[in-house]
């Protein structure tokens, strides 16, 4: 088994703490180790042969530094010269693995997710692996506990099958609330976690079928005798990324393939997609406030607030449903129900040329 971790995101909805050079996955959001380190370490009980971390040029140095303490299994940091979404990153990793071990099973994981029950996570991966060995593309679907409109959904065909995995009927993009309520009531819809298990040769075959241009580009990579000497591939990867399109693995392959299964999972998952998500995974006070990097906060008649205090004394008085994030050079104040719109701040700063704040 090989673990592939996608770690090239910028985490714009976690601004101002998350920046291009130090995005969410490289931060210690919960204290202690970074989200990337936590993601890597939760895979170690799976006894992977190798861990491949795909990131971008801006984050490569820090990514390698954070993982330098790991030696068994070996960890390779693969650098994309420019972000091209998940399909090229996965295709590149699959090509590397298939060169040495075509039937090798890949576990593909985002670098910035939170999982409470890591033992259950490993059990679900092993369940998915059994189907992957039989030629299926398997995704882990999160059993929903609310009508979430910020996630994509997977519809499973549970008829005639007593136990999972289940065949996937369709993928659904982020639905409106009314549709999300219907999905929750139906009982056979799962959140799309972006976690996958498959054989390297199988995903490459499906790319040849559904993404022929990307597949042809990947096929032109020339390997030396030792395919894990990635330094030799860097000029080729740079040339490759100059001529491929940006596309997600969901749209490029998963929505079109006919051999997709879903393993339902409930292991305390969160994509930690915005500041508001911290209320689900961090310790709260009796009024549902979350205070991070804020020693001994003073809270008076305040409810459902999330605060990152940058080590400063924090006081909340008579406020509800706020997000307040302090850094050395920026201050964010946001209504909790507008947390998804923080990425718009990054868009505005980018248009204004404020690169030092990105």
- Could you identify the residue written with the tokens 């591939």? 233
Is CATH 3.90.550.10 correct for 2-270? Answer: yes
d(CA 296, CA 304): 17
pTM to 2 decimal places: 0.93
- pLDDT score recorded for residue 226: 66
| pLDDT (0 to 100) of residue 317 | 97
Q: How high is the pLDDT of residue 30?
A: 78
Kindly state the helix (H) or strand (E) to which residue 241 belongs, with its residue range.
helix 234-241
Task: Give the 3-state DSSP-derived string for 17-71, with helices as H, strands as E and coil as C.
Answer: CCCCCCCHHHCCCCCCCCHHHHHHHHCHHHCCCEEEEEEECCCHHHHHHHCCCCC
Structure confidence at residue 179 (pLDDT): 95
Report which of 315, 348, 305, 303 is spatially closest to residue 330, judged by C-alpha positions: 348
pLDDT score at 18:
92
Tens-binned pLDDT, residue by residue, of the chain (358 aa)? 999 999 988 889 999 999 988 899 999 887 789 999 999 999 999 999 999 999 999 999 999 999 999 989 999 999 999 989 999 999 999 999 999 999 999 999 999 999 999 999 999 999 999 999 999 999 999 999 999 988 999 999 987 667 889 999 999 999 999 999 999 999 999 999 999 999 999 999 999 999 999 999 999 998 876 667 777 788 899 999 989 999 999 999 999 999 999 999 999 999 998 999 998 888 899 999 999 999 999 999 999 999 999 999 999 999 999 999 999 999 999 999 999 899 999 999 999 999 999 9
What is the reported pLDDT for 231?
77
HSE-up (13 A, CA, CB side) for residue 269? 27
For residue 333 the two structure tokens come to: 């104040």
Q: How far is Cα 109 from Cα 3, in angstroms, rounded to an integer? A: 8
Identify the pLDDT of residue 49: 96
What pLDDT is stored for residue 21 in this prediction? 87
Structure tokens at 343: 């990425």
Task: Say if residues 330 and 16 touch (Cβ distance below 8 Å).
Answer: yes
Boundaries of every domain in the chain = 2-270, 280-357
């Amino acid at each position: 088994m090989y673990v592939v971790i996608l770690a090239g995101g910028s985490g714009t909805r976690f601004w101002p703490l998350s920046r291009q050079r130090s995005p969410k996955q490289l931060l210690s959001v919960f204290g202690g180790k970074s989200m990337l380190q936590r993601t890597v370490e939760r895979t170690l009980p799976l006894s992977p042969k190798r861990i491949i971390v795909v990131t971008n040029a801006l984050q490569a140095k820090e990514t390698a530094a954070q993982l330098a303490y790991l030696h068994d299994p070996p960890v390779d940091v693969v650098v994309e010269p420019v972000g091209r979404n998940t399909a090229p990153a996965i295709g590149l990793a699959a090509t590397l693995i298939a060169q040495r071990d075509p039937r090798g099973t890949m576990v593909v994981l985002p670098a910035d997710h939170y999982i409470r029950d890591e033992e259950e996570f490993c059990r679900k991966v092993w369940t998915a692996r059994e189907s992957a060995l039989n030629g299926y593309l398997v995704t882990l679907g999160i059993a929903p506990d609310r009508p979430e409109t910020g996630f994509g959904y997977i519809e499973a065909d549970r008829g005639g099958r007593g136990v999972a995995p289940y065949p996937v009927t369709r993928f659904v993009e982020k639905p409106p609330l009314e549709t999300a309520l219907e999905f929750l009531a139906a009982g056979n819809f799962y959140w799309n976690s972006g976690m996958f298990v498959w054989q390297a040769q199988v995903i490459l075959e499906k790319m040849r079928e559904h993404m022929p241009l990307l597949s042809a580009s990947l096929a032109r990579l020339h390997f030396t005798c030792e395919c894990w000497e990635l330094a030799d591939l860097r000029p080729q990867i740079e040339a490759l990324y100059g001529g491929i399109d940006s596309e997600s693995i969901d749209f490029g392959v998963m929505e079109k393939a006919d051999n997709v299964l879903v393993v339902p999972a409930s292991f305390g998952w969160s994509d930690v997609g915005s500041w508001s998500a911290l209320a689900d995974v961090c310790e709260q006070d009796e009024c549902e406030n979350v205070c991070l990097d804020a020693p001994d906060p003073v809270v008076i008649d305040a409810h459902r607030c999330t605060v990152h205090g940058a080590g400063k004394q924090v006081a909340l008085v008579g406020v509800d449903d706020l997000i307040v994030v302090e850094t050395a050079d920026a201050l964010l104040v946001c209504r909790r129900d507008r947390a998804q719109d923080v990425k718009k701040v990054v868009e505005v700063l980018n248009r204004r040329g404020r690169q030092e704040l990105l």
